[in-house]
Amino acid sequence: MEVRDIMRTEVETCGPEMTIETVASMMKEFDLGSIPVLGDGELKGMITDRDIVIRGIASHFPMDTPIDLIMASDAPLMGTPIMSVEDAADIMVKNRLRCLPIVEEGRVVGMLVLSDVTVDEDQETF
């Protein structure tokens, strides 16, 4: 089975210039723990609720701080629609990700959520 078969295609995104407060409000409104950050239409990173709390609030950044100052600077991990769900799940488990942005031709086209990936009784994906 390919990622495209189970990925979520409605993806909330934000820009790197958006503020901590705005992104935190989006997370509350849409019940999200992470949001892809797009710059010039391409995935630049992910902002997580943990980034906001630990790197933002606990580090005493003002709520009007742009999220690009607190988001991880690592290259974002991503998958493709044609990769196997098992390969995507392996990336997620090894990197402790709950969500994996799915990118095609440089654009975010979906999100794979770990809770959507089922595991059989023998601990093999699907």
Where residue 120 falls among pLDDT bands split at 50, 70, 90?
Answer: very low
The C-alpha R_g of the chain, in whole angstroms, comes to: 15
Tell me the C-alpha distance between 124 and 93, whole Å: 13
CATH code for the domain of 64:
3.10.580.10
- Position 121 in a domain: no
Domain holding 18, by residue range, is 3-116
- Position 122 in a domain: no
- Position 125 in a domain: no
pLDDT of residue 115: 86
- Read off the pLDDT of each residue in 110-117 and give the average, rounded to a whole number: 91
Structural domain tally of the chain? 1
- Position 124 in a domain: no
- Read off the pLDDT of each residue in 84-107 and give the average, rounded to a whole number: 94
What's the predicted TM-score (pTM) here?
0.86
Work out whether strand 42-48 and strand 99-104 pair parallel, antiparallel, or are unpaired.
Answer: unpaired
Mean pLDDT, the chain, as a whole number? 91
Q: Is the pLDDT of residue 122 over 80?
A: no
